[in-house]
């Protein structure tokens, strides 16, 4: 059976060079980075070189990069400490954020009786910046948490515009950049973001590792207590091979960014062209057709398929060896409709199946032909 993986927004294949470098570290650098003997010092040197490398891609100090288990932990670290330790009493976010932010905010509201305010979005899911400005002007001590690239429909937030709005209104700005790091360059000297979350497995690195950018003198306190690793921000023995893998994956991603972006843009354009040709009544969720407002890595389509066949679509695609998604991978197994699509689609559109197809450099036009052919056959059967 043909195998086609178009769920790169959920996770990506690890690059062979990343695996090669991680394997060498597992074999040769197994010392605990906190140990003072030569084995430990060797691991510590690797750890700090990776921190320095990663910081350089964002134009920040190495001391502002804290390694975590991934984006979810980084989101929790920033938001929880802002409320618990810095005394911020309001979180301004949107209803289409990743649940790592939404559920964290809800839990903090239960624990600390903070206020959660949701900024308005338009029918395509774009943030209404004028409403955000109104909310900031009326807030007292708020932290804004808005993702750079939406993981389900691909909408892009204007990071600089939001960061400037927050700074001018004395608010903190946290952004989940899990879907954008490795695909877009972000200069944190130019853009006054306070906290940023990223995860290696979204840019062809290993799972279980990510980082949090914490701007100097923010006052954030640790989420996980124990030892003094990560300058006291994150206790626990560092996973050196995973951190090295993340460093290697990010280096390759940014070294080849323009060429790989052009290739993936070509795939997305071809997918849109083919699916519109074979399924002319298809529609697109979010701003998938506009690269100024949507990422080049994914497309979310609403398929012209009768509601009675909707339940079988994912099953049939899987039988054909096609991997895609009807929402965030973190919601897999849930019978509920995507919270993102519920916010932006009308009832009629919600009755039709919407599917997210996300691309990488390992995909081909031949695979897209197979996927579109399969969708067309299912729609007409």
Domain ranges of the chain: 4-12+257-380, 16-255
Segment 88-108 shows an average pLDDT of 98
Catalytic positions, written as ranges: 330
Least confident of 48-57, 171-180, 283-292: 283-292
The owner of tokens 């891609």 is: 57
Calpha distance 44→51 (Å, rounded) = 11
Size of the chain in residues: 381
Segment 169-192 shows an average pLDDT of 98
Segment 283-291 shows an average pLDDT of 89
Residue 340 backbone class (left: φ over 0; alpha: ψ -120 to 50; beta: rest): alpha
Calpha distance 189→230 (Å, rounded) = 22
Structure tokens at 33: 């980075």
In the prediction, which pLDDT does 175 show? 98
Reply yes or no on whether the pLDDT at 256 is more than 80. yes
Segment 123-142 shows an average pLDDT of 96
Structure tokens at 197: 């979350």
Structure tokens at 126: 């774009």
What's the CATH code, domain 4-12+257-380?
3.90.1150.10
In the prediction, which pLDDT does 270 show? 98
* HSE-up of residue 106 (Cα within 13 Å, Cβ side): 9
Q: How far apart are the first and last CA of the chain?
A: 20
Residue 34 β-bridge partners: none
Segment 75-80 shows an average pLDDT of 98
In the prediction, which pLDDT does 326 show? 79
Mean pLDDT rounded to a whole number for the chain: 95
The owner of tokens 């599917």 is: 355
Give me the sheet containing 298-302, strands edge to edge. 283-284, 298-302, 354-358
> Residue 328: which pLDDT band, with cuts at 50, 70 and 90?
low
Reply yes or no on whether the pLDDT at 371 is more than 70. yes
3-class state of residue 58 by DSSP: coil
Segment 257-270 shows an average pLDDT of 98
Reply yes or no on whether the pLDDT at 70 is more than 90. yes
Segment 81-107 shows an average pLDDT of 97
In the prediction, which pLDDT does 1 show? 75
- Which residues, 6 or more positions from 47, have their beta carbon under 8 angstroms from its beta carbon? 33, 67, 238, 240, 243
Reply yes or no on whether the pLDDT at 184 is more than 50. yes
Long-range own/partner contacts, residues 369-373 (CB < 8 A, 24 or more apart): 369/274, 370/2, 370/4, 370/322, 371/4, 371/6, 371/271, 371/322, 371/324, 372/271, 372/274, 372/275, 372/278, 372/279, 373/278
Give me the sheet containing 65-68, strands edge to edge. 65-68, 210-214, 195-199, 172-176, 142-145, 90-93, 115-118
Segment 291-307 shows an average pLDDT of 92
Residue 148 near residue 173, CB atoms below 8 Å: no
Structure tokens at 28: 């040769």
Reply yes or no on whether the pLDDT at 333 is more than 60. no
Calpha distance 263→270 (Å, rounded) = 11
In the prediction, which pLDDT does 331 show? 47
In the prediction, which pLDDT does 327 show? 61
CATH class in words for 16-255: alpha beta
DSSP 184: B
**What share of the chain has pLDDT > 90, as a percent?**
89
Reply yes or no on whether the pLDDT at 107 is more than 50. yes
308 compared with 285, residue with greater pLDDT:
285
Q: Would the pTM of this model clear 0.75, i.e. be above it?
A: yes
Reply yes or no on whether the pLDDT at 330 is more than 80. no
Residue 210: how many other CB atoms lie within 10 Å: 27
């Amino acid at each position: 059976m043909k195998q086609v993986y178009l769920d790169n927004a959920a996770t990506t294949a690890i690059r062979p060079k990343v695996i090669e470098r991680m394997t060498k570290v597992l074999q040769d650098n197994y010392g605990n980075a906190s140990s003072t003997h030569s084995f430990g010092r060797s691991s510590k040197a690797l750890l700090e070189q990776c921190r320095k490398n990663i910081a350089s891609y964002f134009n920040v100090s190495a001391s502002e990069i804290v390694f975590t288990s991934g984006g979810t932990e980084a989101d929790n670290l920033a938001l929880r400490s802002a409320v618990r330790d810095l005394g911020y009493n309001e979180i301004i976010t949107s209803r289409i954020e990743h649940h790592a932010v939404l559920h964290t905010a809800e839990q903090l509201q239960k624990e600390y009786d903070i206020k959660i305010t949701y900024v308005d979005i338009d029918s395509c899911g774009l943030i209404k910046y004028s409403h955000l400005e109104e909310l900031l002007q009326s807030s007292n001590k708020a932290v804004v948490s808005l993702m750079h690239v939406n993981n389900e429909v691909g909408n892009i937030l204007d990071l600089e515009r939001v960061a400037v709005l927050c700074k001018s209104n004395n608010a903190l700005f946290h952004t989940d950049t899990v879907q954008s790091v490795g695909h877009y360059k972000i200069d944190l000297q130019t853009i006054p973001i306070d906290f940023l979350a990223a995860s290696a497995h979204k840019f062809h690195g290993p799972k279980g590792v990510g980082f949090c950018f914490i701007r100097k003198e923010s006052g954030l306190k640790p989420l996980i207590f124990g030892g003094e690793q990560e300058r006291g921000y994150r206790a626990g023995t560092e996973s050196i091979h995973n951190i090295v893998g993340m460093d290697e994956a990010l280096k390759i991603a940014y070294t080849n960014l323009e060429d790989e972006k052009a290739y993936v843009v070509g795939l997305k354009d071809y997918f849109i062209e083919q699916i519109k040709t074979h399924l002319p009544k298809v529609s697109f969720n979010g701003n998938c057709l506009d690269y100024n407002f949507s990422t080049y890595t994914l497309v979310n389509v609403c398929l012209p398929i009768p509601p009675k066949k909707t339940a079988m679509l994912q099953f049939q695609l899987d039988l054909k060896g096609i991997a895609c998604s009807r929402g965030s991978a973190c919601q897999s197994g849930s019978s509920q409709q995507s919270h993102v699509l519920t916010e932006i689609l009308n009832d009629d559109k919600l009755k039709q199946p919407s599917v997210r197809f996300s691309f990488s450099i390992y995909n081909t036009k031949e695979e897209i032909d197979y996927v579109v052919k399969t969708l067309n056959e299912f729609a007409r059967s």
